[in-house]
Amino acid sequence: MTPRLLLSWLALAASGALAQVQVQELQLKALFNPQAPTSYVPGAAVDFGTVPTSAPTTVTFQLANTGPDDAILTLLQVDGSAFTLVRTEGGSEKLVVPAGQSLEFTITFAPSAAGPATGELWVQIATPASSLTPTVQPKVEYDLKGTGSGAIIGPTPTPTPTPTPTPTPTPTPTPVWPSATIGAQPAPLVSGQQSTISIRFNSPLPASGAGLLTMNFTGKGDTQRGFICANGAFAPSQVSFTLSAGDTWARFAGNQTIEFQTGTLASAIAFTAALGDGTALGSQSFTIAPAAVYIDTVVLEAAANGALVEASGYDNTQKASTASFTFYNTSGQQIGLPITVDATAPFASYFANAATGAFSLTQAFSVTGDVSGIGKVAVTIQNAVGPSAGVMSQ
Amino acid sequence: MTRHLAAFGLYLTAALAQSGVQAPRAGCLLGANGSLRPVYGVAGAFLADVPATTGAISAACSDSLALVKTATSLEVRDASLQLLAQWDAPPGAALFALPRTGQTAFAYYPATGELVQVGPQSAPRTVLDSESLGGDALAIASPDALHLIAVVAGTPGPRLARISVADGVVQTQTPLEDVAAPLALLSDGTVVFADGVGLVIRPPGAAVQRLAQPVIHGNVRQEQSSVLAPTVRPVVTEQRMALPAPAAAIDQMGGLWLAVRLADGSAPMALRLAGGGEQTCRVPAKETAP
């Protein structure tokens, strides 16, 4: 059964606006005071009202899962240069929204000029979270809109100079940062992959600065997941970037992208970009889906009174069970039937203490006859998703 | 569960008691600063751990051994980089040939031109002295237990020498074209060398076909080649692979992998040549505690 996600808007802005959005059940509620929520359907507009350009407003939201199953939040994104999404409750560790619980975040409406501004809020979940193969639900969109007032950009009437004995210092204006999109290539992310991550802004940056790109994830830690810095260093969770006025990209050691190693465990990954002072710039979530075992290499060696087969790869579910070995003679003819070994226990024992899905399975075989008659062996390993591709020894 | 199969005069038995699972080890990585790190993981998910030793000038790893050249010694280490033996050695760098598995390996000292066989239990034994090769070795490899092959620099150009390990006799020497350091030699005779901001991977077939051409010197090369071309078209062609930056060094990272250190100091590229294709990925290094 599809769980219902209830997106509750707890308005903490000066207006006291409170809204509720119900995803999947196609119900949106918005209250302009905490006691009276108003409902919207997906696609309806949520109005932030009229906000001075000099005084951005921030609204806190709650994403509530009112369904019977835990849900994985696979996408929570805001588009539109005047709107910025900030995760506030529990960071990204709460990407799994348990049934009956909620996730908090805020959206800041900061109009850069007088006049109307629009944006979109995108929400997507996968359910049930307890499944190895959760079903990704369709994206749900809510329109965001508001109106900026004051601080008009453009020709303004020249005021009549008023003689003053001493000039009043003009406060330095706080730059309004455009919305950022965090992208990954190639997409979707899968285990055992080295991809690139970028942060692109939808308009030129108003000022220079520096910030941090942070990666959080659900589930077990993965020692092989992290950023690959320009100097070759591995950064498990965070890298710095710089911003230059007029640019539309965040730069990692001068580059538009930074390499990212996805690791070997299935997980939901969330990237968050923020300035050094904590000002949020953007966030993006990705799901690395559970997959069949990947066998990278198979090595066949002669051993005392037999043969030794070593299969290396990764199981991003950590639930590998049986391994099947098919032997071939030096002419390429299959020798008998495949030999199946139940390796559930050694896999479980290893993965219990391993912060990785990478493994090396070694299986010894006793051989009666001429061991040199064995030419190759093909190995297949099963996990909860299914059997791996068969990989021949090298 | 245990099953049996019998065919072709072979009878195989698998026993659970003889199966085990552990973290996959891919070899070792030599840093430009002389650190040597064990590498764990699989393709696309490698991670070089904190350094196991420092002060290395040259290093190479197989699936079972590692050889490390320091300023004054040759170290034999196991696959975990634990020190097994240490021997005095000439100053400077070294070239290594390590079979994918096994307990015997070879080292060549450019400073003296000496080629030695070494293992964890045996002191270095000289296979070749400085005179026998007739030039400086640029790379060595071990195709089988009885032979070594070496890319040797000399006049008029580099050549591939095949050497008997037992008696040190250079059995064959064949010219190689257009190879340049840094380079690596694989056990099957494939030469991998840097070319601009990329690598050239020249399998032995390509080299053999080129050698079938008559020796041509100087400015007449193009003209004579065009006349002779129809009869000497290579069957196996060399491959070119782009790199993010020029290669600074090519080391044997493990039994299956080469490590290509890059001149821009970014994470090295691991390169595996198997099945007629190549596979590459970065090898990031875990930062050491301050």
Q: What is the pLDDT of residue A63?
A: 72
Lowest-confidence pick of A116-130, A268-282, B102-116, B118-132: A116-130
* Interface touch B282/A229, C-beta < 8 Å: no
Is pLDDT above 70 for B290? no
Closest CA to B207 of B250, B236, B173, B171: B236
Q: What is the mean pLDDT of residues A342-356?
A: 95
The pLDDT of residue A9 is 35
- Measure the CA–CA gap between B13 and A365, rounded to whole angstroms: 5
Distance from CA of A321 to the nearest CA of B (A): 12
Query: Which of B10, B256, B281 is the closest to A374 by Cβ?
Result: B10
Which pLDDT belongs to residue A284?
A: 96
Q: Record the tokens describing residue A96, joined without a space.
A: 């799994």
pLDDT class of A393 with cuts at 50, 70, 90: very high
pLDDT band, residue A283 (cuts 50/70/90): very high
d(CA A232, CA A215): 18
3-state class (DSSP) for residue B261:
strand
The rounded distance, in Å, linking the Cα atoms of A286 and A267 is: 8
Condensed to tens digits (0 to 9), the pLDDT of residues A328-345 reads 999 999 988 999 999 999
pLDDT digits (tens, 9 = 90+) for B191-208: 999 998 899 999 886 744
Q: Which residue in B166, B253, A176, B263 sits closest to B280, CA to CA?
A: B253
Closest to A59 (Cα-Cα) out of A25, A21, A97, A96: A21
pLDDT tops 60 at residue A20 = no
Q: What does the alpha-carbon distance between residue A60 and residue A55 come to, in Å, rounded to a whole number?
A: 16
Which of A191, A335, A362 is facing B10, going by the closest CB pair? A335
Q: How far is A122 from chain B (nearest CA, A)?
A: 31
Contact A349 B42 (CB under 8 A): no
Residue A335 to residue B5, Cβ atoms within 8 A: yes
Of the CA atoms within 13 Å of residue B122, those in its CB half-sphere come to: 11
Q: Nearest 10 degrees: CA dihedral of B98, B100, B102, B104? A: -10
What distance in Å separates residue A252's CA from the closest CA in chain B?
13
Which chain B residues are within 8 Å of A360, Cβ to Cβ?
Answer: 21-25
Restricting to A residues 14-53, those with a Cβ less than 8 Å away from any Cβ of B are none
Nearest Cα residue in chain B from A228: B284
